[in-house]
Chain A
Amino acid sequence: MQNKKRSVFYMARRHAVLALVMFAAAFFMVPFHALTVFDTVRGAIRAADADSAANPYWTRNITAMVSNIVEAGFNQEILTFGFAGLGFFSAVILFKHLFSRKQALMIASLPLRRQTDFLERVAVYFLTGLLPAALGLLLYPLIALAGGLAPYMTGKIAVQILMLLMIHLYGFTLGAFCASITGQVWACAAGALFLGGGFEFAANCWQRVAWHYLYTMPVEVVMPIIRRWSPAFSLYKALRQPELFSPLAGIVCTAVFVVLAYLAYTRRAAEGAEHPIAIKALEMPLSVIVSLFAGSITGYIFMTFFGKEAALLIAAAGGAVVGWIMVQLAFTLDFRQAFRRLPAGFACGVLLLICVFGFRFDIFGYERYAPDPQKLTAVTVQSGNVMGGNENYTLKQPDTKAAACTLAGMLRDAATGRRVYHDPVYPEMNLTFTSGHGEVRRAYAGGASSAEMHGMTAWQAAVNTLLNSDEYRQGRIQTGCLDEYLAALDTDAAGNIYIYGWEQIYGSGGNGWESYKTASGRQNDAFNYRNTDQIRKVIESLKAAIQRRTLSSLQQDPVFVIHISGRINNVYKDSSFAVYPDDYELLRALGGEELIEMAGLLSGGFAEVTDCAVYRVSFDASVTDLIEGKICSPQKWMRASTKDEAKEWIRASIKTNDADIYYYPAVGNEEIWIFDLNDQSEQIPGNLDPDTDLVQLVMEQQELWYWPAKRFVSKAR
């Protein structure tokens, strides 16, 4: 026993330099970097102390800065990669004898069981790798304490230090495992890169390939799984927000790596050193994995670059075969051996082709999925432009579930294989069907325009069923956490809840928020309400607006979006709501009469106060054709006879993302054309007769264009 202890301490002494490097690296990345940040923080504290009317958010901001290592130290990516890299480096140093035949034989001759040797090296890692890093990190709270920042320190510092050490340990175990199955350092590093993120990367590539073929596949199928289950990603996320993300996958993976490293170390042959793969039995499975990986990556890259199916097929199959040859070359370091077992390489290529064709011909019936609403326990909807802007809600009643399934089915049937996101002309729906067998997610986007869908009776009926249901309205309130915010206001300070304005992501909304900011002289996006009552009033008005909105009011262009965020029961909540021109009470609560006036002006009121001509132009094509720029001619045009009518027309229209074109959704093949009659810089003649038919003029001259509404807004102000 005494001898064992001596060997551990001997090894620890020999790796004193490693300990020094670990300490210095940890110190440099966090406490040293924090010195400059703390200096700024102290300056801010002095400024806040001097200003009696200082923003009440100061304390929280400073606490967030001091108590968050990711803010005070290097950024999250550098810290994650840095500490994982340090752990991996420790493993390479402590297991470096596995990369040299002479050293491996010398160590194998020592009077130690492999198990003991492995455990001793892990013990030395704790002494010379993890402990010095921990000591380096512990200087952070000491420096903060010495700098008088104790009031701003929370337990999050300790959790984040533990997370960094966990990442270090993860890197070490990954390195130990890779070193134990390889005999050359480059192979060890390649293995670590592959195990660290290769599967996630390949899964993402396949998600892209699948998404290319499967119209109803959500944009992100793999990422949520990766966020939840990827070991590296879980540690990365848990480092910044340990209160929200669990590092469990990373911890489990670390334990698995330790066990695998132990098994590999105790079973590998001493003569495996200097061979890329030390355990012969792993050659074949690794060849297959690397070959499939190479084919997946090259297929995805070629598909992305060339956008052609042929490129995907050729690159996937070719990449697999080339990958196979490369890996044989790497394993044997002999050109003559590069083509060994080549049929297996071809088999990998064929396997990838089968996968691609599986998606191409939907052999699993992914697209045909149509659940029976009665068998579903719930349908969770994330919709865009079905009723209004972006909405989230969950449905459990038979009629609402059936309505959601009807909408999804109609969108799927209208699918053209083209996806359009975040455009008010096109409805989009992401549905999560929950049944006793789990959850199934599907996405439907951009098949047909809203106008066309709204022209269908079944669609209208389903939309109205949803809109008029309590589930929908309560769901909007619930998913938006509005009641939680209100409850928090009863118990906590108003400072915990923030309200920001932002542009509406669907359509342009005429740059509503920017216009409002400019007009009201705001410098930033925060409303900066100083008391609970103001925030309560906004949230209650929002609740009332949600209850009151009709389909026609939701089909207007929103003025802007408000974000509400806050920390409730120590959990960060964030929700967004579009604000519509008809939400008078909400607009009043947010910005008073000035904002109501501004919203009215933005949403068509400019037609009342400026000298403009507004036309409804009908085409011989559908709105989808118009959006796609197909050649079509105006069939009929009608000029607004009064300013009030002009305002109403504009207000009832929506604007596409891609062009400054206003559509009149109730009809489906009409555009709204707006001409600024006083704009001398443009191509409209200055002495134009007010009664001139501008559409006719456009048709004749083929030069004139219509103008986006935002110009009028700025003029009006």
Chain B
Amino acid sequence: MIKAESITKCFGRKVALDRVSLTLDDGHIFGLVGTNGAGKSTFLRVLTGILKADSGNAFLNGQGVYENPSAKQQICYVSDEPAFVTGATLSDMDHFQAAYYAAHDSARLRELCEFFSLPMNERISSFSKGTQKRAQIVLALSRHPRLLLCDETFDGLDPVMRESFKRVLGEVMLDEQMTTILAGHSLQEMENICDSVGFLHEGKLLTSGDMDHILSRFCKVQVVLENGEPNALLNGLTVISDRRQGRLSILTVRADEAEVQERLKAASPQYLEAIPLSLEEVFILEMEEQGYAK
């Protein structure tokens, strides 16, 4: 289990993380979504034990992470800026990881390299950005981590490799009960594979929870009423948007879909249909509420 307890981290006067708390069970896959500069990378680095929190703590299975080699042995961080030993090949990185990580599996590395079409003996610095991402992923998975933290990993991969990565990740998670945190802006991928998700904005975790829960925080309906204003029926609920196309009203409301439908049905609508919201739409709505974008 990974647990973040009220983590605060400042860089100079800038508050990068403001009392962020999160708990994830083993085998869970969590999506961390946030605006640019929201503190996603910082949060992952604190969870990895790279950065020291100014206050609060990160724990892996009850052990503090910072300056704890046994915890760090089980954590793998795939950075948004790939970093390797200077001038190294994947073969060199194999030796590097073997020197530092007890669970490093050279055979698995070779296997994954083959799967992701990565040359073992070419300098990684000569790889393209996307290929370097792939190299990072295979190196990470070859360590059999208990916790995998991926920072914008999907963003540098082509669609084919994204699918391959998702497939491999799914297999590993099933086999090894690995917990994964995916941070980034590829919300569609996250919606597909994450069990739960959290929104980070200006250093604060606005909300987090199961994907279904998050998606159900808003509902979007199309409704045609014979008489009356739909807004009046939704009195007491937060209507975020109300667009009209003739008699058709398209409403976005911060409320549970069942409650909205129930209220609208009370007015015997000629037409009523709930439109499912994507994670991306929910995120945008959430950010709009925060005044981030209009």
Q: Which residues of A contact B71 (CB under 8 A)?
A: 111
Are B101 and A111 neighbours in the complex by a CB distance under 8 Å?
yes
Are A105 and B67 neighbours in the complex by a CB distance under 8 Å?
no
Are A271 and B98 neighbours in the complex by a CB distance under 8 Å?
no
Interface residues on A, range: 20 to 34
Q: With A14-B85, A113-B69, A271-B11 as known contacts, state yes or no: A7 contacts B48, CB within 8 Å.
A: no
Q: Which residue in chain A gives the minimum CB-CB distance to B102?
A: A3
Q: Which residue in chain A gives the minimum CB-CB distance to B149?
A: A109
Are B72 and A111 neighbours in the complex by a CB distance under 8 Å?
yes
Q: Which residues of B contact A112 (CB under 8 A)?
A: 69, 72, 100
A14 to B49, CA, bound (A): 25
Q: With A14-B85, A270-B51 as known contacts, state yes or no: A114 contacts B102, CB within 8 Å.
A: no
Are A110 and B83 neighbours in the complex by a CB distance under 8 Å?
no
Q: Which residues of A contact B261 (CB under 8 A)?
A: none
Mark the stretch among B30-38, B73-81, B112-120, B267-275 that contacts chain A: B73-81
A494 to B75, CA, bound (A): 77
Chain B nearest CB from A139 CB (Å) reads 31
Q: Which residues of A contact B79 (CB under 8 A)?
A: 102, 105-106
Are A105 and B102 neighbours in the complex by a CB distance under 8 Å?
no
Are A111 and B100 neighbours in the complex by a CB distance under 8 Å?
yes
Q: Report if B86 contacts A (CB, 8 A).
A: yes
Q: Which residues of B contact A109 (CB under 8 A)?
A: 48-50, 72, 75, 77
A7 to B100, CA, bound (A): 6
Q: With A105-B83, A270-B50 as known contacts, state yes or no: A6 contacts B98, CB within 8 Å.
A: yes
Q: Report if A10 contacts B (CB, 8 A).
A: yes
Q: Report if B265 contacts A (CB, 8 A).
A: no
Q: Which residues of A contact B81 (CB under 8 A)?
A: 102
A404 to B98, CA, bound (A): 77
Q: Which residues of B contact A105 (CB under 8 A)?
A: 45, 50, 79, 83
A461 to B50, CA, bound (A): 80
Q: Report if B164 contacts A (CB, 8 A).
A: no
Number of A-B residue pairs with CB-CB distance less than 8 Å in the complex they form: 64
Q: Which residues of A contact B100 (CB under 8 A)?
A: 3, 6-7, 10, 110-112
Q: Report if B52 contacts A (CB, 8 A).
A: yes
Q: Which residues of A contact B75 (CB under 8 A)?
A: 109
Q: Report if A108 contacts B (CB, 8 A).
A: yes
Q: Report if B232 contacts A (CB, 8 A).
A: no
Chain A residues 108-127 with CB under 8 Å of chain B are 108-114, 116
Chain A nearest CB from B162 CB (Å) reads 24
Q: Report if B244 contacts A (CB, 8 A).
A: no
Q: 1/0 contact trace for A91-111 toward B, CB 8 Å?
A: 000000000001101101111
A103 to B79, CA, bound (A): 11
A431 to B262, CA, bound (A): 106
Q: With A102-B81, A105-B79, A105-B83 as known contacts, state yes or no: A7 contacts B73, CB within 8 Å.
A: no
Q: Which residues of B contact A103 (CB under 8 A)?
A: 83, 86
Cβ 8 A contact of B67, one of A3, A14, A106, A113: A113
Q: With A3-B102, A7-B100, A105-B83 as known contacts, state yes or no: A269 contacts B52, CB within 8 Å.
A: yes
Chain B residues 85-122 with CB under 8 Å of chain A are 85-86, 95-96, 98-102
Are B96 and A10 neighbours in the complex by a CB distance under 8 Å?
yes
Q: Which residues of A contact B73 (CB under 8 A)?
A: 111
A440 to B48, CA, bound (A): 60
Q: Which residue in chain A gives the minimum CB-CB distance to B87?
A: A14
Q: 1/0 contact trace for B9-20 toward A, CB 8 Å?
A: 001100000000
Q: With A105-B83, A111-B69, A113-B67 as known contacts, state yes or no: A10 contacts B99, CB within 8 Å.
A: yes
Q: Which residue in chain A gives the minimum CB-CB distance to B86?
A: A103
Q: Which residues of A contact B52 (CB under 8 A)?
A: 269-270
Q: 1/0 contact trace for A271-285 toward B, CB 8 Å?
A: 100000000100000
A3 to B82, CA, bound (A): 24
Q: Which residues of B contact A110 (CB under 8 A)?
A: 72, 100
A9 to B85, CA, bound (A): 15
Q: Which residue in chain A gives the minimum CB-CB distance to B103?
A: A111
Chain A nearest CB from B135 CB (Å) reads 13
Chain B nearest CB from A588 CB (Å) reads 77
Q: 1/0 contact trace for A1-40 toward B, CB 8 Å?
A: 0010011011100100000000000000000000000000
| 8 A-B pairs with C-beta separation under 8 A | A3-B99, A10-B98, A102-B83, A106-B84, A106-B85, A109-B49, A270-B52, A271-B11
Q: Please give me the 9 A-B residue pairs with the lowest Cβ-Cβ distance, nearest first.
A: A10-B99, A111-B72, A102-B83, A106-B83, A111-B69, A108-B50, A111-B73, A7-B99, A6-B99
Binding site for A on B (CB under 8 A): 11-12, 45, 48-52, 67, 69-73, 75, 77, 79, 81-86, 95-96, 98-102
Binding site for B on A (CB under 8 A): 3, 6-7, 9-11, 14, 102-103, 105-106, 108-114, 116, 269-271, 280
